[in-house]
Amino acid sequence: MLAPIPLLDQLRARIDESISALPLDAAEGLASLVLDLPVIPAVAPEIPNHRFALMHGRNNELRAGYGIAAEWQAQGPTRLSELRMRAQRLAEGWHHWDPDETGFTGFGLLGLAADPGPGSDSDPGVEGPGNSGQGLPNAVLWVPEIAVASRGCQAALILSTALPASESGLRKRWLGLLERIIRGLSPASPEPRMPALLRPLGSAPGISHWRRLVDAVLREIDRGVMDKAVLCRRIGLRGPRPFDLRLLQAALAWLFPTCQVIHVARGPSSFIAATPERLLQVRGGRVEVDAIAGTAARSASAEQDRALAEGLLRSAKDLREHALVVEAVRSTLSVCCTEVHIPDAPRLLKLHNAQHLWSPISARLGDRTDIFDLAERIHPTPATNGTPREAVRDWLRQNEPLARGWYTGVAGILGPDLSGELWVLLRCAEVRGNEARLYAGAGIVSGSDALEEWRETGHKLSAIATALRFA
């Protein structure tokens, strides 16, 4: 590990040399200073208050942000339209100075709760949408004051400010925050703790309520009201010590290298996910969407694992569930994109504790289509909500006995040119001190069995539960 004080002195000198090149007297907009970072962080440093981090083990990428240079929040049915207007103005007035020619740019976090918020008719005794206690906005576009980015063998420090800004005041703020960040930088992954015994704090819904919910969905399917609904389950766990979020991120990245590990913190609560499902990626005039639905367990036995995979590929129920997601994505993209490409058959996406049917879908963007428009059209997908979308969403608002908050919502990175990548927030936990609330769901279609779906949620919940034992 590099000595923190010499590294801080080096970066302080680079800031002093470069800050005058920023247009700090501009009437509005943002300015970002991009500097080479001579250490590749293994995980994002942890400091108190507002921060976020996205890590992908297989892609060897990290994006982390600290503090707030600019932020916009929204809620309700027009939340994405409101944030789009802000982002378009931001893109027009975002100035970058990259004296070390790193090739990195500033970025923001775009995050959304599962439900837009106001307008629901939840029962008084049921938690309302977006009110789960996670402490996160319903929808947010957040540009951090200081960001750390790494890709492969290169890393950068990105310092951003709203304009206009005072050079002396800005330098003081940047260095104060930077000192705390630099002390947490390390090229080595932190060692996991000895595994702890976690005490269960119950499930919402419980097994009896779960059976009633599944039966109610199946009745709605028989009546032709819906084809599929995704039910959510939440469990609580308590550890013997406060959970270390830095260790948790490292454990999740190691256990699930093909997943995006996402951590968002506002104050004392942290929301963390290890999600296999990318909602969409927009880059170079094209969009890519992951259609994921249909799940089977994994086995330590190679023969049994192969049998589970082959069974999943032949399962009429899982193939039907998967086809609903593929068709929803296809019909959405065909309205606003061209050259839509769908694989002839789903592939297998193999994770540590589960395997899924997966169809990567791609298309060329239409002239008036951007990441906000696509997110509004695609989210929530049948994989996390059901179909038809509005009928199922209304049913869940009235019948699901817990608030999802950001679970099955969306979060990802947005660049200055409005390119970016958004991920569906699955395999999630809200962590505060030594307690955690874990979320998972199961898709109910004709032929679903309540007990089997309960077991499926258990497999999914074990992803975060396993990592928590070592944090």
User: Using one digit for the tens of pLDDT, what is the confidence trace for 254-275?
Assistant: 888 889 999 999 878 899 999 9
76 contacts 272 by C-beta, under 8 angstroms: no
Report the share of the chain in percent with pLDDT over 70. 95
- What number is the average pLDDT over the span 396-407? 94
Asked whether residue 105 carries a pLDDT value surpassing 90, the answer given is yes
Asked whether residue 210 carries a pLDDT value surpassing 80, the answer given is yes
Domain 199-469: which CATH number of 3.40.50.300, 3.30.420.40, 3.30.1490.100, 3.60.120.10: 3.60.120.10
- Nearest Cα neighbor of 262 from 87, 51, 80, 37 is 51
Q: What is the mean pLDDT of the chain?
A: 90
User: Using one digit for the tens of pLDDT, what is the confidence trace for 298-309?
Assistant: 888 888 989 988
The span from the CA of 301 to the CA of 446, in Å, is: 31
Helix intervals (H) in 368-417: 371-378, 389-399
Catalytic residue among 46, 145, 220, 277: 277
What pLDDT score was predicted for residue 124? Answer: 28
- Nearest Cα neighbor of 252 from 189, 187, 297, 294 is 189
Does the active-site annotation cover 460?
A: no
User: Using one digit for the tens of pLDDT, what is the confidence trace for 437-452?
Assistant: 999 999 999 999 999 9
* Distance, CA of 119 to chain centre: 25
User: In the chain, where are the structural domains located?
Assistant: 199-469
- What number is the average pLDDT over the span 69-84? 95
108 contacts 173 by C-beta, under 8 angstroms: no
Catalytic residue among 127, 220, 228, 456: 228
3-state secondary structure 414-471: ECCCCCEEEEECCCEEEEECCEEEEEEEEEEECCCCHHHHHHHHHHHHHHHHHHHHCC
What pLDDT score was predicted for residue 5? Answer: 60
Lowest mean pLDDT segment, chosen from 125-129, 182-186, 378-382: 125-129
Does the active-site annotation cover 172?
A: no
